Amino acid sequence: MRIPRLPFPVWPLGAALAVAGTVFAVGVFTGAGANAEDGEGMGLRPVTDKTVQAECGACHMAFPPGLLPARSWRAIMGKLDDHFGENAALDDETAKRITDYLVANAADSGNGNRRVLRGVRTNDTPLRITELPWWVREHSREVRPGAFKDPRVKSKANCGACHRGAAGGYFEDD
């Protein structure tokens, strides 16, 4: 069987695609670079602990611990029976294990990205990631009002609805 030959050489197409790809890649890269200076787009270490993944990730994504300071994690874990209006109660042993992990990897632990704490007073204990000045700034500039009410998004806690790499810790602009 003979493979029919295309009536035109193929390489220019490949070359054109390659060039387009490069231009696109450079565009995205510079975009990300420029944005990074404004504090946009962020990579954070995702949760690696199995218990934390399973328990925190049951109702929402297991948020990277680097998104809040240790004092915030302690406060949140200290009242799980009223977790932003939900009952998220856990047995003491599991709660302690999760708290230890979150505290050890918190934004102010030395492992974290301190950018998320900009504008947060040291005597303030933020409980919602979405109320951090950094988060508000990032999401007020580019996200159209009402996007969080879209049924596909439903909640500001649903990072993955827009940040497709969220589960892996990539919160770049999507």
Q: What residue ranges bind other proteins (CB under 8 A)?
A: 58-61, 81, 85-90, 153-155, 157-158, 161
Least spacing, CB of residue 73 vs other proteins, in Å: 17
Least spacing, CB of residue 76 vs other proteins, in Å: 14
Nearest to 173 by CA among 1, 42, 38, 16: 42
Residue with Cβ nearer other proteins (37 or 92): 92
Residue with Cβ nearer other proteins (47 or 117): 47
Q: Strand, helix or coil at 144? A: coil
The span from the CA of 35 to the CA of 149, in Å, is 26
Least spacing, CB of residue 52 vs other proteins, in Å: 15
Residue with Cβ nearer other proteins (76 or 88): 88
113: its two tokens: 């990205």
- HSE at residue 3, side-chain half, CA atoms within 13 A, is 2
